[in-house]
Amino acid sequence: MKKNRRRSADKAANIIISMISMVGLLILVTIFVFIFQRGTGLLSWKLFSGNYYPETYDTYFSGPIDTIGYARPADLDPQAFYSEKWGIALIDDLNFEGKHYVRIEYVDPETPLTLLPDKNKDNSYSSIASGQSLDKVIFTDNSIFLSKQGAKAGIELFDNSDGIRDMLTTTPGNGIRGSIITTGYLILMTLAIALPLGIFSAVYLHEFAPKDKWYVNLIRRFIEILTGVPSIVFGLLGAAVFIPFTSSLFGASGGNLISGALTLAVIVLPVIISATEDALKNVPDDYRQASLALGANKTQTTFRVVIKSAVPGILSATLLSVGRIIGESAALIYAIGTAIKDQIILTEKSTSLAVFIWSIMAGETPNFDLACAVSIIIMAIVLILNFSIKLIARRISSVRT
Amino acid sequence: MKTITRSISNKFRKRTADKLANLLLLIPTIISASFVIFIIIFVNERGITPFLAARYGADKVSLLRFLMGTTWFVPPNQYGIFFIVINTLYVVLMAAAISVPVSVITAMFIAKMTNSRIGGFFQTIVELLAAIPSIIYGVFGLGIISKLVIRIAFVFNMQTAGGISSLSTVLVLAIMIFPTITLISITAFRSVDPDLEKSSLALGATKIQTLFRVSLVSAKSGIFTGIILGIGRALGEATAVSMVAGNAGSGPTFDLFQTTRTLTSTMLLGLKETSGLDYDIRFSVGIVLIVVIVCSNLILNYIKKRVGRFA
């Protein structure tokens, strides 16, 4: 009897524990479902290559338009309205703030609309392309289209007119090209600073430093403390030290990419040092002794034998750092700033992908769809990095055994 | 004779090369170690300026009011941070209270109760959660958790400001420290001496009894290390917290459905100018944050020692 009761109590406990353990899985799946549901719609080449800030074109076409006509493409959205006369399709849509606008859904490649003279710039041409919003058109017969009239009315006006006196279209914007470039710059600069510093420090601490000297222990302790410092405090360091430093050195005014990279370098430094030291620990002592026995001195042994064997470990430290750089936000908000830029200059502000999300979420109307699309990109990179690190670790352990 | 001198000079040269390398490597090492000192010196230097008449003259902030205040900002120059410290500790402790049991049980499941394949799968899940950057947790918190909190508030007939509340902050933090505590607890459970567990089983204890009374007790110290790290992470977490905490002007707030304000959200929210009192005072908040983290670390380590003594 008693045994039975104990057994069923055990079973019940087992089930409860298994269920609680599902919480982690549940959270991960929820995060994935959320960001993919909201974000996949925006994932396109335009997102990667486009500018963040919309640009307005002011064009005209004195006409008259040929009467040959342009056939409606078969794969056009059935909800779009199409003008065969002009070869343009319009559709009603809502932007992320929920406001209505008229989007140009399709422009026939043969129609004159693909290349129109720009009113604001002399001898300059702008092309009306799908994705742009149609804000306002004044036709040559003085009829006026405003976007609030909707796509259907717009197409009717196009069909009734032979020329355009003034047309305002706006590129979609919300592209992340600038942030991708910034992230790339930050990764390169940070690694260029942190890798030599970190690897040399690890080599010194593991290969050269005298054992149990007070100053060596102190140095180790200081580097260890760095691991526990929250990233926003690194941001304060960047704002208080690196921004003035780069200002006086490169003439930057305020936060800039170099001060950001210096701050990130301090953040990833303990990661690189500890991973490199682990890698050095895993290099068998036989290698060192064999090299020394062959007459090489310690410096030669370290740099030609030991470091070479530690390369996979250093590589995984690098990947770990890249993940940290891509995900870092709080420190960069202080060390660079939150201004989104399309033109990237090293001595000026810009946003990495993570800070880009912060910037578009911080306003009155957070742009969830775009934030989730960028989150998908960040997650994909982080996942790839993580699996690469696992592969390297497996490779190291299989070589060792 | 010639060869001998050459070999001696060679040897000498090699030894100087070693000494030189030693010296050249010491420099980057010292630079790496010096950043901690940089942080302490320069953040403090900037953080004390708001309290100095030399910099702000009549507009200087009263230090006493800053440390004891229950309202963040009264123009032009009164700042108070006491309630923010209380709010921060409150949400972090609540988050730990939710996260610790779940993390420890998950770790127990992964380390002790399944075969290595399922355990490995779940461990990968936890590692992935650990790798997700905090900004994504922030987006998730604003998109899902705050909506969930609105539902919960509706059930309890309470009002929330669009789900921006202490409860959202607590839940986001609980999710964020879950992987930290779990991963370290897994290691702690794995390093329990199997003989102890086997003896317990041999004495007639069931598997579950053994897990809770032997394995858990032996892994206690390691689990506590995980909790300390988790709380440290929660205290310093900035981006995700700032997105769901709100911007409460005064406090302390213990109502879970009210907006709150933590030390880190105070530092991040409304950051526009990069000079002036509003900017410099954020460094003062940073100093308080560092002090809070160091103190909580010391206290928790003390508790860990005390708990470890009564095994």
**Cα–Cα–Cα angle for B258, B259, B262, nearest 5°?**
130
> Which residue among B29, B102, B182 sits closest to A201, beta carbon to beta carbon?
B29
* Domain contains B56: no
pLDDT (0 to 100) of residue B190: 93
> Which residue among A24, A204, A273 sits closest to B126, beta carbon to beta carbon?
A24
* Domain contains B58: no
> Which residue among A198, A232, A241 sits closest to B236, beta carbon to beta carbon?
A232
State the total domains in chain B. Answer: 2
User: Does residue B83 sit in the same domain as residue B170?
Assistant: yes
Residue ending a domain, among B28, B51, B74, is: B51
* Domain contains B304: yes
* Domain layout of chain A by residue ranges: 55-170, 177-400
- In this prediction, what percent of chain A has a pLDDT beyond 90? 46
* Domain contains B92: yes
Residue A141's pLDDT band, with cuts at 50, 70 and 90, is confident
User: Does residue B165 sit in the same domain as residue B26?
Assistant: no
Domain ranges, residue B22: 2-51
* Domain contains B105: yes
**Domain holding B272: CATH number?**
1.10.3720.10
Domain A177-400 sits in CATH at 1.10.3720.10
Which of these ranges, A51-55, B73-77, B101-105, B234-238, has the smallest mean pLDDT?
B73-77
User: Does residue B81 sit in the same domain as residue B171?
Assistant: yes
Burial class (CB in 10 A: 0-12, 13-18, 19+), A218: exposed
In this predicted model, what pLDDT tens digit does every residue of B187-217 receive, in sequence order? 999 999 999 999 999 998 888 889 999 999 9
What one-character DSSP code corresponds to residue A73? P
Q: Name the minimum distance, in Å, from the CA of B277 to any CA of chain A.
A: 14
Question: Phi-psi category of B276—alpha, beta or left, where left has phi over 0 and alpha has psi -120 to 50?
Answer: left
> SS3 for A162?
coil
- Strand pairing report for A100-107 and A88-94: antiparallel
User: Does residue B38 sit in the same domain as residue B134?
Assistant: no
CB atoms A17 and B109 under 8 Å: yes
Q: Is the pLDDT of residue A39 over 60?
A: yes
CATH class, range A55-170: mainly beta
Which of these ranges, A5-9, A161-165, B237-241, has the smallest mean pLDDT?
A5-9
Q: Is the pLDDT of residue B305 over 90?
A: no
Q: Name the minimum distance, in Å, from the CA of B261 to any CA of chain A.
A: 16
User: Does residue B248 sit in the same domain as residue B167?
Assistant: yes
Got the DSSP string for A163-210?
A: -EEEEEEE------HHHHHHHHHHHHHHHHHHHHHHHHHHHIIIIISP
CB atoms A28 and B122 under 8 Å: no
Best B136, B216, B225 residue to mutate vs chain A (most A CBs within 10 Å)? B136
Read off the amino acid at residue A376: I
Taking a C-beta distance cutoff of 8 angstroms, is the pair A152, A25 a contact?
Answer: no
Residue B11's pLDDT band, with cuts at 50, 70 and 90, is low
Query: Residue range A31-41: average pLDDT?
Result: 93
Residue A400's pLDDT band, with cuts at 50, 70 and 90, is low
User: Does residue B250 sit in the same domain as residue B138?
Assistant: yes
Residue A115 tokens, joined: 């290349």
- CA–CA dist B277, B265 (Å, integer): 17
Query: Residue range B155-161: average pLDDT?
Result: 86
* Domain contains B240: yes
Q: Which residue has the higher pLDDT, A122 or A25?
A: A25
CB atoms A371 and B31 under 8 Å: no
* Domain contains B156: yes
Query: Residue range B22-40: average pLDDT?
Result: 92
CB atoms A358 and B274 under 8 Å: no
User: Does residue B22 sit in the same domain as residue B111?
Assistant: no
* Domain contains B270: yes
pTM, entire model? 0.89
User: Does residue B17 sit in the same domain as residue B130?
Assistant: no
Contacts of A208 in chain B (CB under 8 A): 21-22, 25-26
pLDDT (0 to 100) of residue A360: 92
What number of other Cβ atoms are within 10 A of residue A309's Cβ? 16
Tell me the range of A173-177, A309-313, B94-98, B253-257 where mean pLDDT is highest.
B94-98
CB atoms B17 and A299 under 8 Å: yes
Best A5, A7, A8, A17 residue to mutate vs chain B (most B CBs within 10 Å)? A17
User: Does residue B32 sit in the same domain as residue B132?
Assistant: no
**Cβ-Cβ contacts under 8 Å for B6 (sequence gap 6 or more):** none
User: Does residue B266 sit in the same domain as residue B134?
Assistant: yes
Contacts of A223 in chain B (CB under 8 A): 32-33, 36
